[in-house]
Amino acid sequence: PVEYVEKLIQKVEAHPLTTVYTRAEVKDSSGHLGRFKSTISVDGKTEQIEYGAVIVATGGTEYKPTEYLCGQNDHVITQKELERRIVLEPDGLKGVRNVVMIQCVGCMDDAHPYCSRVCCTTAVKNSLKLKELNPEINTYVLCQDMRTFSFKELYYKKAREQGTTFLRYLLKQKPKVTEVDGRLQVNVFDQNVRCEVVLEPDLLVLSAAIRPHPGSKHVADMFKLPPDQDGFFAEAHVKLRPVDFANAGIFLCGLAHGPKFADETIAQAKAAASKAGACLAQESMVTRGVIAQVDEAACRGCSLCVALCPFEALEIVESEDGRKVRVIDVACQGCGVCAATCYRHAIGINAFTDEQIGSQMKAFLGS
Please check whether residues 103 and 206 belong to one and the same domain: yes
Please check whether residues 34 and 98 belong to one and the same domain: no
Please check whether residues 94 and 184 belong to one and the same domain: yes
Please check whether residues 67 and 175 belong to one and the same domain: yes
Does residue 258 carry a pLDDT above 80? yes
Of 186, 210, 234, the one marking the end of a domain is: 210
Three-class secondary structure assignment of the chain: CHHHHHHHHHHHHHCCCCCCCCCEEEEEEEEECCEEEEEEEECCEEEEEEECCEEECCCEEECCCCCCCECCECCEEEHHHHHHHHHHCHHHHCCCCEEEEEEEECCCCCCCCCCCCHHHHHHHHHHHHHHHHCCCCEEEEEECCCCCCHHHHHHHHHHHHCCCEEEECCHHHCCEEEEECCEEEEEEEECCCCEEEEECCCEEEEEECEEECCCHHHHHHHHCCCECCCCCECCCECCCECCECCCCCEEECHHHCCCCCHHHHHHHHHHHHHHHHHHHCCCCCCCCCCCEEECCCCCCCCCHHHHHCCCCCEEEEEECCEEEEEECCCCCCCCCHHHHHCCCCCEEECCECHHHHHHHHHHHHCC
| Full residue range of the structural domain in which residue 324 is found | 292-365
Residue 262 lies in a domain: yes
Does residue 1 carry a pLDDT above 80? no
Residue 111 lies in a domain: yes
User: What average pLDDT does the segment 256-269 reach?
Assistant: 95
Does residue 367 carry a pLDDT above 80? no
The pLDDT tens digits of the residues spanning 19-62 come to: 999 999 999 998 889 889 999 999 889 999 999 999 999 999 99
What is d(CA 245, CA 236) in angstroms, rounded to the nearest whole number? 5
| pLDDT attached to residue 168 | 96
Of 252, 280, 308, the one marking the end of a domain is: 280
Does residue 172 carry a pLDDT above 70? yes
User: What average pLDDT does the segment 3-18 reach?
Assistant: 92
Please check whether residues 79 and 193 belong to one and the same domain: yes
Of 210, 227, 253, the one marking the end of a domain is: 210
Domain count, the chain: 3
Rounded to the nearest 10 degrees, how much is the dihedral formed by the CA atoms of 228, 233, 234, 239?
-140
User: What average pLDDT does the segment 129-146 reach?
Assistant: 95
Please check whether residues 319 and 361 belong to one and the same domain: yes
Residue 20 lies in a domain: yes
Residue 285 lies in a domain: no
The pLDDT tens digits of the residues spanning 64-94 come to: 999 999 999 999 999 999 999 999 999 989 8
Cα angle: 151, vertex 154, 155; to 5 degrees = 110
Q: What is the pTM of this model?
A: 0.85
Please check whether residues 219 and 326 belong to one and the same domain: no
Residue 286 lies in a domain: no
Please check whether residues 40 and 101 belong to one and the same domain: no
User: Any idea what the CATH number is for the domain that residue 246 is in?
Assistant: 3.50.50.60
Flag the least confident range among 157-161, 215-219, 264-268, 319-323.
319-323
Residue 89 lies in a domain: yes
User: What average pLDDT does the segment 95-108 reach?
Assistant: 96
User: What average pLDDT does the segment 129-145 reach?
Assistant: 95
- pLDDT tier at 256 (50, 70, 90 boundaries)? very high
| pLDDT attached to residue 153 | 94
* Amino acid (one-letter) located at 88: L
Residue 236 lies in a domain: yes
Please check whether residues 78 and 39 belong to one and the same domain: no
Residue 335 lies in a domain: yes
Does residue 123 carry a pLDDT above 90? yes
User: Any idea what the CATH number is for the domain that residue 322 is in?
Assistant: 3.30.70.20
Please check whether residues 267 and 296 belong to one and the same domain: no
Calculate the average pLDDT of the chain: 93
Please check whether residues 74 and 184 belong to one and the same domain: yes
User: What average pLDDT does the segment 150-169 reach?
Assistant: 95
Please check whether residues 334 and 250 belong to one and the same domain: no
- pLDDT tier at 2 (50, 70, 90 boundaries)? confident
